[in-house]
Amino acid sequence: MKRILSLIVSLIFVFALAGCGEKKAADTTASNKDNKKVIKVGASPVPHKEILEQIKPVLAKEGYDLQIVEFTDYVTPNIALNDGELDANFFQHIPYLTKFNEEKHTELDYTVKVHLEPMGVYSKKVKKLEELKDGAEIAIPNDSTNGARALKVLQSAGLIKLKDGELVSKLDITENKKNIKIKELDAPQLPRVLDDVDAAVINTNYAIQANLNPTKDAIAIESKDSPYANVIAVRKKDKDKPYIQALSKALNTPEVKKFIEDKYKGSIIPAF
């Protein structure tokens, strides 16, 4: 009986040690995830990737390897972030992120605002909005947040009037004296259809890629007090992790502000 009791006590002791070892291993794994040194960030080519390139040396000095994954659409980078393929992304403004969470039931959040890209109206057929003829066709982004934003640019320019509200659509137009026809397209396509429509309201990142300068080529432009600042998006649970804080801090420095001001000369504006 004493031998049996001794054996039982020994087994309990062994299992207790094993449990402690597993807990320590789990704690170490969690700690490693919190202090990871490779940061994968999804970004649009212009200006987001260009801005991120500026902070690579800063993060490298802190022991982080910033890896930029390029995307050319507005949906995939949020899906990749939510699925854990990215640590953060940089391409969108807060209203778009909020709407995406609502529609996709995701829990994405943001850390810092980086810059504002004033949306502009471009045309190859007229030099002023007043020159648009009755029944003119204007293309806008087909996603709900940027579509609403584009319509508000047209309202500010005096072309249409809209119902009050944040996410308005072309169905909310209450006054349209020139019978403007609104054509909704994927945002990346808008620069390519300028020959086919009378005008298009284009996000600045796609305008720049098409060699369109918002301050020189746009015939109307969004107000600088727009709420659509571009942000660093992350999974909510990762928001306070050291590598995310390092990324966010590096993007809100005087050096980054100067780069944005010097590189884009007013077409893109620092938001910090």
pLDDT band at 4 (very low <50, low <70, confident <90, very high): low
pLDDT band at 266 (very low <50, low <70, confident <90, very high): confident
Question: Which residue in the block uniquely carries the two structure tokens 């320590």?
Answer: 24
Classify residue 157 as left (phi > 0), alpha (psi -120 to 50) or beta.
alpha
- pLDDT tens for 127-151 read 999 999 999 999 999 999 999 999 9
Q: Given pLDDT bands bounded at 50, 70 and 90, which one contains residue 8?
A: low
Predicted pLDDT at 3: 59
Digit-coded pLDDT (tens) for 148-201: 999 999 999 999 999 999 899 999 999 999 999 999 999 999 999 999 999 999
pTM exceeds 0.75 for this model: yes
| Amino acid (one-letter) located at 137 | E
DSSP E strands, 35-152:
38-43, 65-70, 88-93, 108-116, 120-122, 137-141
Of 221, 243, 259, the last residue of a domain is 221
* Structural domain includes residue 30: no
Give the 3-state secondary structure of residue 128. Answer: coil
The stretch 221-239 carries a mean pLDDT of 92
Residues 73 and 149 in one domain: no
Range of the domain at 67: 36-117+228-270
The reply to whether 83 and 172 lie within a common domain is no
pLDDT at 168: 97
**How many domains are there within the chain?**
2
Instruction: Among 198, 221, 244, give the residue marking a domain's end.
Output: 221
Q: What is the pLDDT of residue 200?
A: 98
- Inform me whether the pLDDT recorded for 252 exceeds 70: yes
For residue 18, is pLDDT > 70? no
Residue 28 has pLDDT above 50, yes or no: no
pLDDT computed for residue 26 by the predictor: 43
The mean per-residue pLDDT over the stretch 81-94 comes to 97
* 207 and 137 co-located in one domain: yes
Please report whether residue 193 resides in a domain: yes
Rounded to an integer, the average pLDDT of 10-21 is 50
- What was the pLDDT predicted at 34? 76
Are 72 and 154 within one domain?
A: no
Is 60 exceeded by the pLDDT of residue 17? no
The answer to the question of residue 240 being in a domain is yes
pLDDT higher than 90, residue 15: no
Of 257, 233, 193, 262, nearest to 94 by C-alpha is 233
Q: Is the dihedral of CA 189, 143, 229, 130 positive or negative?
A: positive
Eight-state DSSP code of residue 176 = -
For 56, counting Cβ atoms within 10 Å of its Cβ (0-12 exposed, 13-18 middle, 19+ buried), the class is middle
184 and 132 part of one domain:
yes
Q: Chain-wide mean pLDDT for the chain?
A: 90
Is there a single domain that holds both residue 260 and residue 181?
A: no
Kindly state whether residue 11 falls inside one of the protein's structural domains: no
**CATH code of residue 176:** 3.40.190.10
Q: What is the mean pLDDT of residues 100-107?
A: 97
